[in-house]
Amino acid sequence: MSVHFTRVVRHSCYGVDVPLTARNVNGNEVRVPDPVPGEATVISRYGKERAIVLHPADFNRLSELEQLVTEAVTLEPIELSEEAIRAHVEEGTPGEPVTDPAVLAELFG
Amino acid sequence: MRAPLGHCYWAVAPLAPAPPFRIYQEGAEARDVAAVEPFTEAVRKGMSEFVLLTPVKTRPVLVITGVLPEHEEVLALRLRRLGKLATDAARDLVREGKDQVLFYLRPERFAGLPVENAVIVTSLLRLSVSAIDRGTSLGSLNENELRMVHERVARAHELKLDVMIVEKARRLLESAQGGVAKPSGRRPRK
């Protein structure tokens, strides 16, 4: 059972942003049911889920899907053209404000 | 599009306060403060509110959110006249939707604007609805265009929406599947 997996970020009811990493354990040190592709073996104790055993192929598939979704929803940075930068700066810079009391009185009474 | 969302209006829009800060004083000339640090020093002395003389400009803005009923405020974007762009090539890029920051407002749908304009998606403003002249809409985006503007605003400000989207997709999947199937009872040991 010495399989290496890449690190992915897990989003689930067990907590958001929990990184999912693989811990390697020698198959001689533990007793686990033989994993079958397409089947998740839920190990429970006192009515609570303790662990889930997956076939490595399923785990890989889940990890790849998770990475795919995470990459798909990560927003691409926007491209700033020179015109866009100039527009932002100029439209956010004060011009010549009207301060003449006579003009202001005429405008607003 | 349900007004004011996606509509363009005249509004009294402030420019972001920046040094020198002009503070109003009763019965005296305004006082200039050159930097932000004296304000934080004033907070330590228990004084944090002042009247600032901030420039405002009456300008058309594009409202990109509905009104928050509790606050009577919206988010809006400034516009840029295409005539102010430096070259014909730049104007064509905007018209063709190839400039990611300057989003073209099609003149046929913005009849209230006398010239061609684009929205600057990096120019997010928070405005009170009472600062917007909602009597006359100058034009409006359709649903699809508004969606594109929202996406570009999110990208321009690097909003972190990934967890929200993944969680929503997961909930939808679970609801479509009628919840995650779980085995019941004890399983025989192999």
B30-45 confidence digits (pLDDT tens) = 999 999 999 999 999 9
Domain residue ranges in chain B: 7-17+54-176
Q: Residue B93 in 3-state DSSP?
A: helix
Residue of A32, A78, A85, A104 to mutate, interface with B, max B Cβ within 10 Å:
A78
Longest dimension (CA), chain B: 90
Over the stretch B144-178, which tens digit does the pLDDT of each residue have? 999 999 999 999 998 888 778 878 877 887 887 76
Question: What percentage of chain B reaches a pLDDT higher than 90?
Answer: 78
DSSP A8-60: EEEEETTEEEEEE------TTT---PPP-TT--EEEEETTEEEEEE--HHHHH
A80 and B123 in contact by Cβ < 8 A? no
- Region B58-77: mean pLDDT is 94
Q: Give me the residue spans of the domains in chain A.
A: 8-78
- Say if residue B47's pLDDT is above 80: yes
Tell me chain B's radius of gyration from C-alpha atoms.
24
Per-residue pLDDT at A5 exceeds 60: no
Q: Name residue B118's beta-bridge partners.
A: B80, B104
Distances (CA, A) of B127 to A34, A85, B45, B163: 62, 23, 31, 29
| A79:B121 CB<8 A | no
> Cβ A81–B85 below 8 Å, yes or no?
no
Interior angle at CA B123, CA B69 and CA B103, nearest 5? 100
pTM to 2 decimal places: 0.73
Find the distance separating the first CA and the last CA of chain A, reported in whole Å.
84
Q: Of B117, B76, B114, which is closest to residue B99 (Cα–Cα)?
A: B117
Average pLDDT taken over every residue of chain B: 90
Q: So what's the ipTM on this one?
A: 0.79
CA distance A14 to chain B (A): 12
Residues 17-76, chain A: which have Cβ within 8 Å of B?
17, 33-34, 41-42, 44, 69-70, 73-76
Class of domain B7-17+54-176: mainly beta
Q: Is the pLDDT of residue B123 over 80?
A: yes
